[in-house]
Every structure is written in C-alpha cells, then in structure tokens.
Amino acid sequence: MATRLYPIVAPANYVEVLAGVLEGTLEVLNQVSARHPGRFVSDEAFAAWWSELDESARDLEAFVSDGWGRISPRVSEILLEADFSPYCGTVLKERDPILFGQLLEAVNVPQKVREGITGFTWY
C-alpha cells in the first residue's frame, strides 16, 4: 500500500471542515461505527455498516481512511530534504513550523481551512 498523508487536527471534529462535510458528521460516523465493531471482518458486516452511513458520513470515512491520498513526489522531496523518512513520520506545527508550512503548501491546503491543522502524519 502506498504512503498516505493525513492531517492532525484540533479539535477532533475539525476533520469535518477538511473533508467538506456537514457539522456533526464525525459524531454520526462514530456512533454507526460503534454499532458495527466487526465491520472489517467480512463483506457482509462491512455492507451492513456502510448501508447505515449517509453520503456525508461516507465522504468523511473516505477522508479519514485515505487522508490526502498518496504522498506526492514533491512532498517526498520536502521530507527527504528535512531528513525525514518519506514512508512514515509525523510533523507538528509547534515543533517544526517551517516544514509544517512547506507541507501545507505542497498539499495545496486552502488558507481558509488551515487554522485547525496542528500537524501531519504519514504512513
């Protein structure tokens, strides 16, 4: 599986803003997921869980699962230049604001949604 880039956010529901879904969607996703703890055990269990999610919850689940997708060659280059592994790692805004800013730019995170992002992780 490819290395994917994920945001670290505060508060936790800020992921809704990044995913472009309705406020309260994270709570709905968590509630439905709690009712289906074995959703990854079988296709039938997954289908039962998935059928309970509305479009907004499905979109959020996709973002939570995949983040911004595979890291781009540019992100990989930035990480290598900063002596970070391009395969697994974490950058926090408070510890490395320059690298954090470079990653924001490389991923093209819109200015209006940057405030709740406190870092990045990739694996």
At residue 62, does pLDDT exceed 60?
yes
Model confidence band, residue 2 (pLDDT cutoffs 50, 70, 90): confident
For residue 97, the model assigns a pLDDT of 97
Transcribe the chain into DSSP letters: ---BEEEEESSGGGHHHHHT--TTHHHHHHHHHHH-TTTTT-HHHHHHHHHH--HHHHHHHHHHHHTT-BPPHHHHHHHHHTT--SSSEEEETTT-HHHHHHHHHHHT--GGG-TTEEEEEE-
At residue 1, does pLDDT exceed 70?
no
Share of the chain above pLDDT 90, in %: 97
At residue 78, does pLDDT exceed 80?
yes
The mean of the pLDDT values for the chain is: 95
